[in-house]
Amino acid sequence: MTNGLVSGPGSGPFVRDCPGARDPAALPSRPVTHPTQPTQPTQPEPAAGSRYHLPDDPTGAEHAVLVLGRAPGPQLHLLDVGATVHRLRVTGGDGERRDVALSHPTLAERRRGDAYLGATIGRYANRIAGARFELDGREVLLGAVDRGHSLHGGPEGFDRARWQVLEHGTHHAVLTLHSPEGDQGFPGAVDVQARFEVDDAALALTLTATSTADTVLNLTQHVYLTLAGAGAGTVDDHVLTVPASRWVEVDATGIPAEGPLPVPAEADLRAGERLGDVVRRGHPQVIDAHGIDHTYVLDAEPDGDGLREHARLADPASRTVLTLRSDQAGVQVYTGNFLDGTLHGLAPDGGTTLLRQGDGLCLEPGAFPDSPHHLGEPGWTDVRLAAGESYAWRARWEFAALD
């Protein structure tokens, strides 16, 4: 999910795209595909455990990129600003190495037009209606960034902060962030820890947090995925399976009027559907969002490890399949609806490419949108975090060859 036109302190105006944040008639048309980019890197991959800097901050005064893992397994390039998945290189089923995550080439581009590419989101992923809610009889006022609503934590959410690096090894990194009392309007001072790990076939992320006062919290990871490789075209031909018979319907501004409802046949992903077909079937919910931008409510209970399958994404061209597993109740499926060609992404050859609608798919495990307005109501996710209690969020992105 992405949002509208806001201003950040010290950064000037910046654009965060979202359904409805711009007049759809004013958006440039999108070609169905882009010219295919080369998938092989032009330079060797950096060493596991190393770090480097983006070209517009060569001394690392404002950031660092941490490298985890090595070929043939996944290699994660982790940007400390936003605890961001900057690059994610995997070996496809066809034997090719590819970047499967969209990213910005520079810090300046990220600040100029943040679409939350790869960022860790907080304090509240998704929308809160009217940028306000009540907690124990107290009105909490938040920063509005999207048509009068709070989105992804507000104008200066966790995606904008530089996280502190606590540990960095060859296959893991631990980052921390202190969010002070009243940050973006939210109660309590919150301390968050993010542990990223890579193994032979997967990326794992564990998020934990505590608060000094009762508050609400809903974290997620906003990586845009494309198994064909960043810059290689849209995800229209990817086949997405989500084991969910219910979803959360929303109004034209992304706010639900009620709890989970049965998924309509046009958007049912349980049997596996080509993404381009789902987007073009014309269900009113999908039309209003200019694509899929909805929370699917998982049917299955967690497995023995506490995780359940959220989604399976397959790309026939690269013969690669991704299985996302998490401990969360829902997964926000977002088809990059308002990537409109105004932002630059990193291309496989080290250059840049324009990011357009459908270039990547976000699968965001988390709670339902606007849950703070439904605290204690049956059928809604419980996003209340009491003072001194521990919050936990886990997910695994598992890569394999497509049979």
* Cα–Cα distance list, 297 to 60, 184, 318, 326, 333 (Å): 41, 28, 29, 12, 11
Q: Measured between alpha carbons, how far is 363 from 255 in angstroms, rounded to an integer?
A: 19
Return the closest-CA partner of residue 292 out of 313, 307, 309, 308.
313
Q: Measured between alpha carbons, how far is 60 from 65 in angstroms, rounded to an integer?
A: 9
Name, in order, each residue with C-beta under 8 angstroms of 126's C-beta and a sequence gap of 6 or more: 1, 151, 152, 218, 220, 295, 332, 364, 366, 367, 368, 369, 370
- DSSP class of residue 149 equals B
What are the helix (H) ranges across 74-125?
107-112
User: Which secondary-structure segment (H or E) carries 324?
Assistant: strand 320-326
Q: Measured between alpha carbons, how far is 210 from 71 in angstroms, rounded to an integer?
A: 36
Q: Measured between alpha carbons, how far is 108 from 379 in angstroms, rounded to an integer?
A: 42
Supply the residues annotated as catalytic. 222, 364
Q: Measured between alpha carbons, how far is 325 from 294 in angstroms, rounded to an integer?
A: 18
Q: Measured between alpha carbons, how far is 116 from 110 in angstroms, rounded to an integer?
A: 8
Q: Measured between alpha carbons, how far is 79 from 163 in angstroms, rounded to an integer?
A: 9
> Amino acid identity, residue 237?
D
E-strand stretches of 180-226:
190-198, 202-211, 215-216, 220-221, 224-225
Q: Measured between alpha carbons, how far is 332 from 369 in angstroms, rounded to an integer?
A: 9
Name, in order, each residue with C-beta under 8 angstroms of 170's C-beta and a sequence gap of 6 or more: 48, 49, 68, 69, 70
- Residue burial 277-306, b: 16+ Cβ < 10 Å; e: rest: ebbeeebebbebbbbbbbbbbbeeebeeee
